Chains A and B, each alone.
Chain A
Amino acid sequence: MDWEYFWELFFGGLTRGSIYALIALGYTMVYGIIELINFAHGEIYMIGAFTALIVTGVLTLLGWNHIAILVLAALAAVVYSSAYGYTIEKIAYKPLRNAPRLSALISAIGVSLFLQNYVLLVQTSDFLPFPALIPDFDFMEPFAHIISSPEIVILITTTIVMILLTIMIKFTRIGKAMRATAQDKTMAALVGINVNRVVSVTFVVGSATAALGGVLIASHIGQINFYIGFIAGIKAFVAAVLGGIGSIPGAVLGSFVLGWTESFATGYISSDYEDVFAFLFLVFILIFRPAGILGRSTTDKV
């Protein structure tokens, strides 16, 4: 057994997993609160990356330093994407809240297509270079062949975001309101919770994490176009389902498991079948644990 190769693949899978996780967190949160698979989530991620690209372009012209640009670009992306998330919810999902779940799902797909084409038309269909905003740290140099600085940053950010979200949901007032809304919307409203506000906050927070992911991942990969949200979104969705959709730690664990599956399948078997193994694994997990790895299965009371 070649252990060095094993660890390289392990860390490769870990970074890939943390990329998925940053997007999967928003998916799972929205699903947890209003049981809607927000297919437009991947597009929010893409819009976040585009916003950051534009802000970066302007600030680079003004000659700002790297860290300041990264922080400001991320901030702008978070604000802009959150506004998109909020607006999408108000326009496309709120009117359908009491409609069958399928209607909201189709509305989500519609929003996703709309945003993709909107960015295609107002920006370009070409790939655009995205500057490397995360610098290479000197102390990381000995490990650069295994894990690079941007990868470490993504990994740490994912962990921090996960912890913050968990704290928010477990210990804050709004978190309590979210859990109440998730359990029973009508009852929550009856005890004085502003359900509309809770849902809006959920979308804003979910979009913010996606935007953060957009900035970090685009900076790591170095290129963006209008279509990046689709593939990343689908993979993140799979990760969220794998971990148990609705569960915050589940989304992260599911993402890591998916990342590792892909990485090891590529490394030890063949990358030709990377997706095949990823989805085979998903099928197996769902056969034995239909609610996902950390998902709690709920019984519908009749």
Chain B
Amino acid sequence: MKKNAGKFIVAAVASLFMIVTLSGIGLAADPIKIGVAGAHSGDLASYGIPTINAAKIVAEKINAKGGVLGRQVEVLPEDDVCKPEVATNTATKLISEGVDAVLGHICSGATKAAMGIYKDSNIIAMSPSATNPGLTQSGDYPNFYRTIASDDAQAKLDVDFALDTLKVKKIAVIHDKGDYGKGFAEFVKKFIKEDGRAEVALFEGVTPGAVDYSAVVQKIKRSKAECVIFGGYHPEASKIVSQMRKKRMKTIFLSDDGVKDDTFIKVAGKYSEGVYASGPRDTSKNAMNIQAIKEHKEKYGTDPGAFYINAYSAAVALLNAIEKAGSTDYDALTKALKTEWVETPIGKIKFDDRGDAIGAGFSVYQVQNGVYVELK
């Protein structure tokens, strides 16, 4: 008993000493507090936890090198269970703890709910995973950034590619009536109309699995479209492309990452030649990407989970911006995020006026000699 008491005293003295030293550092320079908000418990915890891990790994690494602007980085995780009604409380709590920037939130709905609160306190939030287009496009959240492409980024990229590179004037938009394909097709239609340089000659849904698409193909031909933009998956795409080519039509075929799949080339064979499809930019060979995954394995002993790479990139981008801005001031930080390029595991990025990462996301690929080749 006496022995234990002795141990206790030693521990108490030690911890007291630590507190004193810690506050000593604190007096020298306040830590930079990064709030990490997202689902850390509940059904969707697997989406949120990797972001905490990423933030901790990045913070540890930077702290070991002396921190940012001579200040240590502190990670403050806060759970929002991916629920909008909880997310507002999460945001309020993080602000009351004095965070300088927030990494999060994870789900689009929760992010939307929290953004207003951050905006009122001039705090920047950067999400690794919220893909809802409205977050950046509505203009309601000037303090919002993300390191993942928004749902409509592919549609935008494909339309830009068709208008700027292919320079087509008439476009047929075809989809497979599914959530993914139709959603994509509707964004494509919207962007073509907004741009005004080309017209949508045809907007049609096809039935997946039908034995033959000759009627739709004839309709495309009749519409005199120079280019087909297809929203859907490869089985239908390969049938439509094959039938178009068999009817001796040379119409350009452009599609989404449902088609950017090697099975498409295998199935459509020679007819796949020249087909364009957008798909996620290949980052697996990026040295930082490999390094980030290795660090996770070393620290946690497992493979990283969902959005880890995006979260890692967001943490790097945020801390880099603070470093470049020289402070955590809102305006300086905003300027740094939008002007300074930064190397991250998802590539070299900076942010556009709306808060979407330029340089992250999708590329257009073309089938050349039986393989998808990324077009620069």
Could you tell me if B267 and A263 are in contact, using CB atoms closer than 8 angstroms? no
Is A271 part of the contact surface with B, judged by Cβ < 8 Å? yes
List A residues 1-42 near B (Cβ within 8 Å): 2, 5, 8-9, 12-13, 15-16, 19-20
Contact (A266, B239) CB under 8 Å given A145-B248, A235-B211 = no
| Bound form: Cα–Cα A227–B248 in Å | 29
Q: Which A residues are in CB contact (< 8 Å) with B217?
A: 12
Contact (A12, B218) CB under 8 Å given A127-B235, A274-B207 = yes
Could you tell me if A222 and B268 are in contact, using CB atoms closer than 8 angstroms? yes
| Chain B contact residue count (CB 8 A cutoff) | 32
Is A148 part of the contact surface with B, judged by Cβ < 8 Å? yes
| Bound form: Cα–Cα A302–B235 in Å | 52
Q: For the complex, would chain B's binding face be called helix, strand, loop or mixed by DSSP majority?
A: helix
Q: Which A residues are in CB contact (< 8 Å) with B209?
A: 227-228, 231
Could you tell me if B211 and A221 are in contact, using CB atoms closer than 8 angstroms? yes
Is B246 part of the contact surface with A, judged by Cβ < 8 Å? yes
Could you tell me if B211 and A19 are in contact, using CB atoms closer than 8 angstroms? yes
| Chain A contact residue count (CB 8 A cutoff) | 39
Q: Which B residues are in CB contact (< 8 Å) with A144?
A: 246-248
Could you tell me if A148 and B247 are in contact, using CB atoms closer than 8 angstroms? yes
Could you tell me if A20 and B218 are in contact, using CB atoms closer than 8 angstroms? no
Which B-chain residue is minimally distant from A260 (CB atoms)? B215
| Bound form: Cα–Cα A204–B248 in Å | 39
Which B-chain residue is minimally distant from A146 (CB atoms)? B247
User: Which residue of the partner chain, among B210, B216, B239, contacts A223 with CB atoms under 8 Å?
Assistant: B239
| Bound form: Cα–Cα A101–B268 in Å | 43
Contact (A129, B215) CB under 8 Å given A271-B204, A274-B207 = no
User: Which residue of the partner chain, among A146, A222, A266, contacts B215 with CB atoms under 8 Å?
Assistant: A266
List B residues 196-215 near A (Cβ within 8 Å): 204-207, 209-212, 214-215
Closest Cβ of chain A: how far from B122's Cβ, in Å? 48
Is B65 part of the contact surface with A, judged by Cβ < 8 Å? no
| Bound form: Cα–Cα A232–B206 in Å | 16
| Bound form: Cα–Cα A144–B217 in Å | 13
| Bound form: Cα–Cα A274–B210 in Å | 10
Most central of B207, B211, B248, B263 by chain A CB within 10 Å: B211
User: Which residue of the partner chain, among A16, A264, A267, A272, contacts B212 with CB atoms under 8 Å?
Assistant: A16
Is A196 part of the contact surface with B, judged by Cβ < 8 Å? no
Is B234 part of the contact surface with A, judged by Cβ < 8 Å? yes
User: Which residue of the partner chain, among B205, B222, B242, contacts A222 with CB atoms under 8 Å?
Assistant: B242
Closest Cβ of chain B: how far from A222's Cβ, in Å? 5
Is A128 part of the contact surface with B, judged by Cβ < 8 Å? yes
Is A217 part of the contact surface with B, judged by Cβ < 8 Å? yes
Closest Cβ of chain A: how far from B248's Cβ, in Å? 5
| Bound form: Cα–Cα A96–B218 in Å | 47
Is A126 part of the contact surface with B, judged by Cβ < 8 Å? yes
Of all A-B residue pairs in the complex, the 8 with the closest CB atoms, nearest first, are A266-B215, A12-B214, A272-B205, A263-B215, A129-B267, A8-B218, A231-B209, A223-B267
Given contacts A16-B215, A20-B211, A221-B242, 5 further A-B contacts (CB under 8 A): A127-B234, A128-B267, A148-B246, A267-B215, A271-B204
Chain B interface (Cβ < 8 Å from any Cβ of A): 177, 204-207, 209-212, 214-219, 221-222, 234-235, 238-239, 242, 246-249, 263, 266-269, 271
Interchain residue pairs with CB less than 8 A apart (25): A8-B218, A12-B215, A15-B212, A16-B211, A16-B215, A20-B211, A127-B267, A128-B267, A129-B266, A148-B247, A221-B212, A222-B267, A222-B268, A222-B271, A225-B235, A231-B209, A231-B210, A266-B215, A270-B205, A271-B204, A271-B205, A271-B206, A271-B215, A272-B177, A274-B215
